[in-house]
Amino acid sequence: MPELTYREAVRDALRKALREDERVFLMGEDIAEMGGSMAVTQGLLEEFGPQRVRNTPISEMAIVGSGIGAAIQGMRPVVEIMYEDFLTLSMEQLVNQAAKHRTMSGGQVRVPLTVRTQGGAGWSPGAQHAQQLEAWFVHVPGLKVVFASTPEDVRGLLWSSIYDDNPVLFFEHRTLYPIKGEVPEELEPIPLGKARVHREGEDVTVVATGRLVHEALRAAEEAERDGVSVEVVDPRTLLPLDEETIIASVRKTTRCVTAHEAVTRGGFGAELAAVIQHGAFDWLDAPIERVGAKFAPLPFAPVMEQYVVPHAEDVYEAIRRTVARG
């Protein structure tokens, strides 16, 4: 199988959708000539022209609102919000409009809108350009929420998001763009709502998202040297959530760690812990451990930034704690 970077895999899914479906078009700040702030859409303007790769004004509410209108009229827009922090400026459109139209119309109105955005620490962007806000949107009925961690997954999940008839928030992590991975020669759609088991294990389940999937895999290798077998599960789609795969894993291992880069309090790990407590309580041999960022705005200074966000060492320590308490 060929290797692609995470960035190339996103671009490949967008290019294929643009080639095969005239209803698909892209909108966002500086996505045309500049190719986007993270160079994801480079080359698409030259191939598809300014009608289908559209620069927009600096107004997140206008970008998302226009996308909603186009989706209702039968298009399949993919809009880009340059940093996920700026989703805050489009919350009314996302939460009160995009998420509600299908239900309020009795199913007569579809909103096949995909909102791509990226964030994450690791390059000193400061407190306003690196937040991880995915848990906010899991709380909103009518939205779907995706967070892919590998090139193969980001390509297949983005394709499925574009062709879902509901609004999808598609989160990407800034530091994952350069990573490489094998992908199928032909693009294979990955269904929304299906988790991926990256590593089989017997003693502890780590349920991780985004960048923390890779940190969890490193922690699992370290734990293996200590004689602890770790299973690593990536939900991939946070809403809908593949509860069956996660619960089955925890019932097998009897211990669990949740891990994400977002702050721990109120983060998606809390929802995972509740789901696991309900579905696997009688199998748990130790309390669920949660790994996330410290409850603070992200510092600009690199050393402080690294102190606030979690790493493989934090996941490894959580694994050790839950094994010790069993």
- Give the residue numbers marked as catalytic: 60, 129
Residues 22, 28, 29: CA angle, nearest 5 degrees: 150
CA-nearest of 231, 301, 240 to 259 is 231
Element at 245 (helix H, strand E): helix 243-253
Peptide bond preceding 141 in cis form (omega within 30 of 0): no
- Would you give the distance in Å from CA 325 to the centre of its chain? 31
For 269, residues 6+ apart whose C-beta sits below 8 A from its C-beta are 207, 258, 259, 260, 290, 291, 292
Q: CA–CA distance from 322 to each of 37, 175, 300 (Å)?
A: 41, 29, 33
Token readout for 76 is 């399949």
192 within 8 A of 291, measured Cβ to Cβ: no
Residue 273 to residue 281: CA distance in whole angstroms: 10
